[in-house]
């Protein structure tokens, strides 16, 4: 079975990473208790955002390590699992910040952190602006998760040789820099004029995908696993060849689910990406196709409706139907297929060992074929 849930349970990767994360949250509670009354709510929020993750990033790291000769039951296995936990904590930080920037209402079926803290402020009738309080709390939560991620990564490698610490640290630092820049490129894309040149819009969208999501979701976890397996430079480069297109396909799948996904499985209301006005490859392709066929009604609808926060469910469904009618979802499905096939072909290289190679292939399919 290639579901993410089943795959991350192989060799108890999820259980081990979850245990590490639970210990990190418990330690955080102790530390926050020294800081003052009310700070424990921060630990609650970190625990909530960590509770629903697929652990795909940790699994890509672990199985890349296995594919590069890593053996379970060795001391290095614990290092890899700790690094996987650091990746999950980094993702939590990115989600806290991303939800504020996107003004998202929900995360994994629950109120986003900034919404939850705004509601706490309002229900307690505290002074000041509830929305600003919520956003401030979520930004600080993202910063706190970044600190926890750095601690987990540093402690994981503390007993390893300095050259290995340096090599892995360079990958981790690059990952964090790229995501930060990618977040800015995303904010910039939302601010720039859109819809006049769909080709340029798509190019910007793919730049955002690669910097903000693709590399830290798949490429860098694969590279970290290879580094921890003491792979050669050529083998590490091969991980990048596999990881970048696969990570791009992973995010393109997210973009499709953000418009057409089932809320019961995605944990987000249907069409939230349309209300937020996300400048995705999907909507760029829809605009390009509508312009090419002279479909003035769809062109006008995309300009008028995309990014309207007050769209009701019927209006969202109408807009989604119009996007589907252009054929843009089929274009994106084909792009996902092409990217995935290239990554899977690279997985056939002679340097990967079993069962790591097979598990990476299964994880690749799970990442791009998922429905949540």
Q: Can you tell me whether residue 289 is helix, strand or coil?
A: helix
245 pLDDT tier (thresholds 50, 70, 90): very high
- Average pLDDT value over all residues in the chain: 95
Distance separating alpha carbons of residues 363 and 289, to the nearest angstrom? 33
The predicted structure's pLDDT at residue 313: 92
- In sequence order, what DSSP letters do the residues of 201-251 get, joined into one string? HHHHHHHHIIIIIIIIIIIHHHHHHHHHTT--HHHHHHHHHHHHHHHHHHH
List, in order, residues 6 or more apart from 269 with CB less than 8 Å away: 105, 106, 263
The predicted structure's pLDDT at residue 37: 84
**pLDDT exceeds 60 at position 138:** yes
The predicted structure's pLDDT at residue 52: 81
**pLDDT exceeds 80 at position 267:** no
**Alpha-carbon distance values, 201 to 180, 191, 310, 354 (Å):** 20, 12, 24, 41
What are the structural domains of the chain? Answer: 4-369 (1.10.600.10)
The predicted structure's pLDDT at residue 156: 98
The predicted structure's pLDDT at residue 371: 78
Mean pLDDT, to the nearest integer, of 266-283?
88
pLDDT tens by residue, 173-222: 999 999 999 999 999 999 999 999 999 999 999 999 999 999 999 999 99
pLDDT tens by residue, 43-66: 999 999 999 889 999 999 999 999
The DSSP code for 371 is -
Contact (CB, 8 A) for 342 and 247: no
Backbone angles phi, psi at 354, to 5 degrees: -90, 150
The predicted structure's pLDDT at residue 264: 78
Chain centre to alpha carbon of residue 356: 22
Mean pLDDT, to the nearest integer, of 231-255?
95
The predicted structure's pLDDT at residue 82: 98
Packing angle of the helix pair 130-156, 113-123 (nearest 10 deg): 130
The residue among 351 and 84 whose pLDDT is bigger is 84
Distance separating alpha carbons of residues 331 and 292, to the nearest angstrom? 14
Distance separating alpha carbons of residues 366 and 64, to the nearest angstrom? 15
The predicted structure's pLDDT at residue 211: 94
The residue among 227 and 4 whose pLDDT is bigger is 227
Mean pLDDT, to the nearest integer, of 126-138?
98
Mean pLDDT, to the nearest integer, of 167-171?
98
The residue among 136 and 345 whose pLDDT is bigger is 136
Mean pLDDT, to the nearest integer, of 161-181?
97
**pLDDT exceeds 80 at position 140:** yes
């Amino acid at each position: 079975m290639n579901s993410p849930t089943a795959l991350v349970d192989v060799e108890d990767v999820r259980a081990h990473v979850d245990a590490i994360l639970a210990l990190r949250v418990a330690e955080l509670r102790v530390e926050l208790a020294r800081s003052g009354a009310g700070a424990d709510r921060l630990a609650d929020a970190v625990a909530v955002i960590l509770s629903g993750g697929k652990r795909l990033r940790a699994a890509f790291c672990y199985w890349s390590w296995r594919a590069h000769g890593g053996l379970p039951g060795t001391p290095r296995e614990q290092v890899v699992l700790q690094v996987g936990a650091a990746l999950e904590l980094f993702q939590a930080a990115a989600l806290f910040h991303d939800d504020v920037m996107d003004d998202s209402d929900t995360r994994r079926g629950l109120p986003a952190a900034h919404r939850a803290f705004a509601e706490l402020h309002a229900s307690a009738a505290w002074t000041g602006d509830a929305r600003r309080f919520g956003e401030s709390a979520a930004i600080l939560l993202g910063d706190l998760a970044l600190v926890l991620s750095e601690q987990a990564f540093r402690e994981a490698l503390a007993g390893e040789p300095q050259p290995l610490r340096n090599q892995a640290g360079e990958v981790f630092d690059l990952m964090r820099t790229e995501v930060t820049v990618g977040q800015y490129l995303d904010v910039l894309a939302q601010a720039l004029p859109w819809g006049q040149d769909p080709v340029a819009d798509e190019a910007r969208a793919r730049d955002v995908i690669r910097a903000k999501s693709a590399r830290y979701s798949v490429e860098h976890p694969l590279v970290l696993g290879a580094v921890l397996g003491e792979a050669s430079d050529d083998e590490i480069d091969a991980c990048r060849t596999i990881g970048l297109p696969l990570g791009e396909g992973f995010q393109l799948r997210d973009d499709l689910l953000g418009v057409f996904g089932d809320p019961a499985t995605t944990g987000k209301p249907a069409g939230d990406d349309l209300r937020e006005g996300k400048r995705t490859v999907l909507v760029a392709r829809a605009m390009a196709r509508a312009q090419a066929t002279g479909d003035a009604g769809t062109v006008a609808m995309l300009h008028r409706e995309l990014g309207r926060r007050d769209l009701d469910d019927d209006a969202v469904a109408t807009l989604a139907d119009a996007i589907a009618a252009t054929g843009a979802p089929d274009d994106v499905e084909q792009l996902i297929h092409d990217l995935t096939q290239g990554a899977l072909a690279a997985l056939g290289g002679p340097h990967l060992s079993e069962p790591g190679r097979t598990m990476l292939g299964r994880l690749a399919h799970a990442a791009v074929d998922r429905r949540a």
